[in-house]
Amino acid sequence: MASLTYDLTLAGLSVGSAAALTGIGLIVTYRATGVLNFAHGAIAMVCAYLLRQCTVEWGWPLWLGTLVTLLLAAPALGLALERLVFRPLAVLGGDPAQTLVASLGVFVLLVGGAVLVWGPGARDDAPTLVPGDPWGQLAVVVAVASAVGAVTRRTRFGRELRAVVDDRSLAVLAGVDADRVAAAGWAFGSFTAGLTGVLLAPYVRLDPYGMPLLVMEVVAVAVAARMRSLPVAVLVALGIGVAQSQLTRFHPPGWAEPLLQAVGANLFVVALLVAALVLPGVGGRDTLPRPATARGGTPAGAWIVALTLFLLPLGFAGEDLHTAVQVPALGVVLLSLVVVTGRGGQISLGQAAYAGLGALFTALLSAGRLPFLPALPELTALLVAVLLVAPLGLLTGGPAIRRHGLALALATFAVGVGVSRFVFAQPYAASGPAPTRPAGFEGDRAYYALELVLLLLALLATRALRRGRTGRALAALRDHEPGASAAGVPVPSLKVAAFVAGAALAALGGGMLAMGVRAFDPAAYDPVRGLLWFAAIVVLGADSTLGALAAAALLVGLDAGTKGGVAAALIGLLTALVGRFPGGLQEALARLRAGPDRRTALTPTGVRARQRVRAGRASGGEAARADRGGPRTAEADRGALGTPEAGRGLSGAPRPPRAGNEPGPARAEGPAGTGPTGTAPGTPATPEADQGEPRTAGAGRGGSDAPQPPQPPQTGNTRGLARTAGPAGTEPGTDTGADADAGADADADAGAVGSPTDGPGAPRPAARGGERPGTPSPPPPSGTDPSTGTGTGVGVGVGTGPAPPGARPGAPSSAVALQARRLRVGYGGFVALDGVDLDVLPGRVSAVVGPNGAGKSTLFHCLAGTLRPGQGRVRLGGRDITRLPAHARTRLGIARTFQQLAVFPSLTVAENVRVGAEQGCVADPAAAERALRLFGLDGAVRTAPAAGLPTGTLRRVELARALAGSPRVLLLDEPAAGLDTAEVAALARILRALADDGTALLVVEHDLDLVADLADVVHVMAAGRIVASGPPGHILRASGPLDALDPAVDR
C-alpha cells in the first residue's frame, strides 16, 4: 500500500510539474503585458512538434534540437507575437476584449498552421528531454520559479517589471520602457510554453488539437494564484496533480465508479470550473466599452448573392452535395454567436458544447435512449433537443451576470471543456446511436432543402432578436452596459436571455449537423472547434447575419476544397489582426475603399505624448480648436450668444442677484479657454477685473474623481415634455426677446432651449447669471429654505450637521423625492462615505461639490444603485430602494447621466432616445418624440447614427434619453463636461425649466460658476462627509466650506 501511494505520488508530481510550468509562463506574461495568453497551449504544441522535427525527421542531436527549440524558436515566436500583434493593439488603444480576441486568433492560427505542416494525426515518437523520474521535472520547475523570483526581486529589470505591473502609465512617466518589459514577458512566456510542450510530449498524445487544449486546461493554477503569486501556482499545480493520481486507486461499486474515474482523470478540468465559475474573476471587473461602429443595413444585392450561392448545391451531386449539407447547419450554429456576441456583446467560447448537446440529445431521443421518453420522430427529437438544451444556457448566462471580459471568457471556456470531458467523452456518447434523417428527407438533396427551411427560420428568429425593442436593448447592452442599465434595461435578465437563445440556436445547428453526417462525433464539438467558430464570426462581422452564413461557407469550403487546416490558419491570421480592424472584415473593406491612412504609427509613449500636446493646444482657446476643424464653440457663435462681459452671465444678460439669496460668486468670463475678461490662460487678470470676486471652477469642467457607473432613473411624469410643443423647448407664441433670439441661434448649433416667457407658472430663465425676474429679496437668514424662507434647520457654516438640507422640519418623507440616511461605505481601512444624509426635493436643484476623493462619486453611485452602501438607507418617495439595482431604480423614476458620455453609438439618435422611453418608469411611446423636440433632435439628425456626432449633440441625446423615461429624480454627473460656453448656457436653461416643472435634480459639478447660477441648495463634501449645506450665495461665499475644496480649483 505504501509503495502504491509513493508511486502514485511520483506520477502526480510529474503531471503537476508540467502544470506548474504552464502557470509560471501564464503569470509572467500576464504581469508583464496584462494579456492572458490563450495561445500558450498552441505555442507549447508547436515547440513540441519542432523538437520532434529536428530530432526525429532531420536527425539532429537532442541537445542541439533542444537549444534551437527552447532558446531560439520559442522566444523568437513570443517576440514576433508581441511586435506584430499585441504592440499594435497597445498603440491603437485596444481594450482588454480586443487583446483577448487577438490571443484566440493566435491560438487558431498556430493550430491551423500545425495541421497544414504536420497533419491532423497524433504522433507517439516525441523525444524525451527529461527522464520519466518526476524529480528531474520538479527540479526544472523549482529552477525556473527561483530564477524568475530572483530576477523580479534583485535586478533592475525586476523593479521595472513590478512598476509596470503596479501602474503602467506611471512607470512610463518614470522612464520605464514598457514595450521592452512586454517583449521580455512574451519571450519568457513562450519559453516556458515550449518547455512545457517538450516535457509533456513523450507522455501524452502529440496532436494539433489535443495538446493545446490539455495545456489550457491547467490555466486554473494561474487563476487560483490570482495571476500574481508564483509559489501559490506551483503548490496548487503539484497538489492537483498528486490528488488526481491518488484518485485512481479508488473503485467504488455501482454508478459511483465511472463518475469517480471521470473526475480523477479530469481533476484539472474540475479545478478550471471552480476557478472560472466560483472564484473571483481575474482581470478588471468590466472592460471599457469600445465605441461600436455604426452599421448600415445589408444591401439587398448581398442577400441576392447569398441566396444564389446557397441554392447552388441543390444542383450538386455525390461528395460535393454531401459536403454542402454541413453549411446550413453550421450557419445556424454561428447565428447563435451573432445573438450572444454580435448583438449582446458577450464573449462566449462554449457554443460548441451546446451544439454537441443538441446533436447528442437528438440522437438519443430519436433512438429512445433517454430515460422516461419514448423514441421520437427525427424532427420531433430535434425540437425536443432544442428545448432541453436552451435552459442549459444558464450555465454560461449565469456567470455573465457578474463576470465580464476575460473572466467571462474563462467561464464560458471552462463550461465548454467540462461538457466535452464529462459528457461527450463518456461511453454512452462515444458509442451512442447514430442519428438518422427525417422520413422523406433521407437523400442529400432533400435533406439540404430541409436545412434551408430551418436556416430561414433561424434567420427570422435572429432578425427578430436584433430588431425592435429587444434588439435596441441588446445593442445598448453591447455598446455601453452601464448606460444601458441606467436607461432601465434589465441587464442581468437580458444577458441570460441572450445566452439561452444562443444555446437554443446552437443546439438546433448541432442536431442538424449530426443528422447531416448521420453520426455523433465528439471531436466535431471539441472546445477547440468552439474557439475557431468564435474567431470566424468575429472576423466576418459579429453583428452580421450575412457574416455568419459567409463564415459557415468559408469554414466548410476551405477544408473540403483544400488541405485541412487552411480555414483555421486563415481565420486565425485575420483574427490576430483584429486590433487593426475591430469591426472585422467589413471595417477592413470600408477602410480600403476610403483610401490609405498615412498616419505614422507611434509607440504607446508617443501616443501619450501626442495626446498631451493636443491637450495643451486645446487649452489655448476655442478659436484655435475651430481653426483645426473642431466643433463650433462659443467663440464661433459670437453672433448668437455674444462674448460674456464682466458682470454678465453666459447668455449675455446682466446678472441680477438671486431672489431670496445672496448674489452668487461671479467673474468676468471670456470665451471658452480664456481667463477672466477674456485673457488667455496663464495671463494674470487685472486687479480691476478680479478684485473682490471669488473665482470659480469653470476651468475644472470635465474633471472626475472616479469612473462613473450607471445610475437608475425614477418614476415620474411627462409634464416637462408635454409642456413643450415647439422645437428648442419654447412654448407656442412665446416671444422672449433677446434671450429667445440667442436661444434660437444656440439651438441651431448646440440645441439650446429658449427661455419660456415669464408669468404665473412659467419656468424662470436659467442662463448662467440670469435669475427669476423681479426685485431681489433680501437674503434669507442662515438656516432657511432659499425659496420659501422657512427654517431648514441647516446652517451654512462649516461643520453644520447634515440635517435634511432644504427640507422643512417634520416634513413627511413622501415630500422628499430622494432621501439618503446615514450612508456609509468603506474599502478596507478607507472610509469613502461616513454617515451622509441628503434630501433631494421636487422642483429643486441640489448640487454636490467638493475636491477629488471627497466621496461625491461614491454617494452618486449609492443613490443610482451601482453601489450598495455598507450601512444606511436610500428611499425614493418613502420607499426603501437600498437593495435595488440600477435598472430597477430607473423603472421607479430615477434617471441619470454620465460624465463620460454614455450613448449607444451603433443606434441612431432616435433609437437612443427610444431606449429610455421603452425602459423607463412610464411606458409612453410619444415621450421619445417629445424629448427629441425638446432638445432640437427631431430634424435630420434623428436618423443619424450616434457614432461620430459632436459632443454637444451627444450630451443632448443622453439627456433626452434620460428624460424620455419620465423620471421624478434626475442625477447629473458633471453635465457640463466637454461642452462649450453656448452649450453650457443652453443646458442651464433646460435644467432650470425641468426643475420648475417639478423634477428633482441632483448635480455633481466642479464648475462653481454653473453651480452658483443653477442650484437652489449646495452641499460641500470633504473626507466622505457633508461639511456644509445651504443656499449657494452663502455656501460659495463662505471661506470655511470652500477650504474643503481642492486648492488647485479656482474659486
| pLDDT, tens digit, 9 for 90 and up, residues 718-770 | 334 433 333 333 333 333 333 333 333 333 333 333 333 333 333 333 333 33
- Among 516, 538, 555, identify where a domain stops: 555
At 637, the pLDDT band (50, 70, 90 cuts) reads: very low
Say whether both 200 and 336 belong to one domain. Answer: no
Say whether both 764 and 876 belong to one domain. Answer: yes
- Does 478 or 1039 have the greater pLDDT score? 478
Grid cell 450557419 is found at 331
Q: Is 569 helix (H, G, I), strand (E, B) or coil?
A: helix
Contact by Cβ (8 Å): 349, 219: no
The CA-atom distances, in angstroms, between 622 and each of 291, 627, 670, 848 are 26, 9, 11, 28
Residue 651 lies in a domain: yes
Residue 855's domain spans which residues? 643-713+749-783+798-899+969-975+989-1046
CB-based burial, 296-309: b 16+ in 10 Å, e otherwise: eeeeeeeeeebeee
Per-chain mean pLDDT for the chain: 75
**Model confidence over 643-660: pLDDT tens digits?**
333 333 323 333 333 333
> Residue 888 sits in a domain of what CATH number?
3.40.50.300
Pairing state between β 1017-1022 and 845-849 = parallel
Q: Is the pLDDT of residue 1025 over 90?
A: no
Contact by Cβ (8 Å): 778, 661: no
- Does 668 or 587 have the greater pLDDT score? 587
Pairing state between β 818-827 and 871-876 = antiparallel
What is the model's pLDDT at position 756? Answer: 35
Q: What are phi and psi of 661, to 5 degrees?
A: -155, 160
Say whether both 244 and 327 belong to one domain. Answer: no
Residue 917 lies in a domain: no
Say whether both 230 and 354 belong to one domain. Answer: no
**Model confidence over 474-496: pLDDT tens digits?**
888 888 888 888 888 898 999 99
Say whether both 414 and 529 belong to one domain. Answer: yes
Q: Closest Cα partner for 1025 from 783, 827, 806, 825?
A: 825
Beta-ladder partners of 848: 1004, 1019
Number of structural domains (the chain) is 3
Residue 685 lies in a domain: yes
Say whether both 365 and 217 belong to one domain. Answer: no
What is the model's pLDDT at position 592? Answer: 59
Residue 608 lies in a domain: no
Residue 942 lies in a domain: no
Pairing state between β 1017-1022 and 1025-1030 = antiparallel
What is the model's pLDDT at position 827? Answer: 82
Rounded-to-integer distance, Cα 307 and Cα 309, Å: 5
Say whether both 215 and 353 belong to one domain. Answer: no
Rounded-to-integer distance, Cα 850 and Cα 833, Å: 13
Contact by Cβ (8 Å): 922, 952: no
- Among 249, 270, 285, identify where a domain stops: 249
Residue 243 lies in a domain: yes
Pairing state between β 969-973 and 1000-1004 = parallel
Please compute the mean of the pLDDT values over residues 47-76 and round it to a whole number.
93
> Residue 108 sits in a domain of what CATH number?
1.10.3470
The CA-atom distances, in angstroms, between 934 and each of 641, 752, 764 are 20, 9, 17
Amino acid at site 124: D
At 502, the pLDDT band (50, 70, 90 cuts) reads: very high
- Does 581 or 871 have the greater pLDDT score? 871
What is the model's pLDDT at position 380? Answer: 93
What is the model's pLDDT at position 939? Answer: 84
Say whether both 225 and 122 belong to one domain. Answer: yes
In the structure grid, which three cell numbers stand for residue 31, read together?
Answer: 504581469
What percent of the chain is predicted at pLDDT more than 70?
73
Please compute the mean of the pLDDT values over residues 345-361 and round it to a whole number.
92
Say whether both 188 and 333 belong to one domain. Answer: no
Residues 6+ apart with CB under 8 A from 318: none
At 92, the pLDDT band (50, 70, 90 cuts) reads: low
Q: Closest Cα partner for 1029 from 786, 703, 826, 665?
A: 786
In the structure grid, which three cell numbers stand for residue 297, read together?
Answer: 443595413
**Model confidence over 962-1020: pLDDT tens digits?**
888 888 899 988 888 777 888 888 888 888 888 888 889 999 988 888 888 888 899 99
Say whether both 831 and 704 belong to one domain. Answer: yes
Q: What are phi and psi of 908, to 5 degrees?
A: -75, 170
What percent of the chain is predicted at pLDDT more than 90?
18
Residue 245 lies in a domain: yes
Residue 42 lies in a domain: yes
| 322 torsion bin: left (phi>0), alpha (psi -120 to 50), beta (else) | alpha
**Model confidence over 242-298: pLDDT tens digits?**
998 888 877 777 667 777 888 888 888 898 888 888 877 665 544 433 444 555 567
- Among 249, 283, 312, identify where a domain stops: 249
At 919, the pLDDT band (50, 70, 90 cuts) reads: confident
Q: Closest Cα partner for 195 from 266, 152, 243, 145?
A: 145
Say whether both 542 and 661 belong to one domain. Answer: no
At 590, the pLDDT band (50, 70, 90 cuts) reads: low
Rounded-to-integer distance, Cα 864 and Cα 713, Å: 8
Q: Is the pLDDT of residue 328 over 90?
A: yes
Please compute the mean of the pLDDT values over residues 181-206 and round it to a whole number.
89
Residues 6+ apart with CB under 8 A from 776: 656, 657, 658, 659, 660
What is the model's pLDDT at position 464? Answer: 87
Please compute the mean of the pLDDT values over residues 468-478 and round it to a whole number.
87
Rounded-to-integer distance, Cα 637 and Cα 644, Å: 12
Beta-ladder partners of 847: 1003, 1018
In SS3 terms, 378-418 reads as HHHHHHHHHHHHHHHHHHHHHHHHHCCHHHHHHHHHHHHHH
Q: Closest Cα partner for 55 from 144, 145, 127?
A: 127
Q: Closest Cα partner for 276 from 127, 396, 103?
A: 396
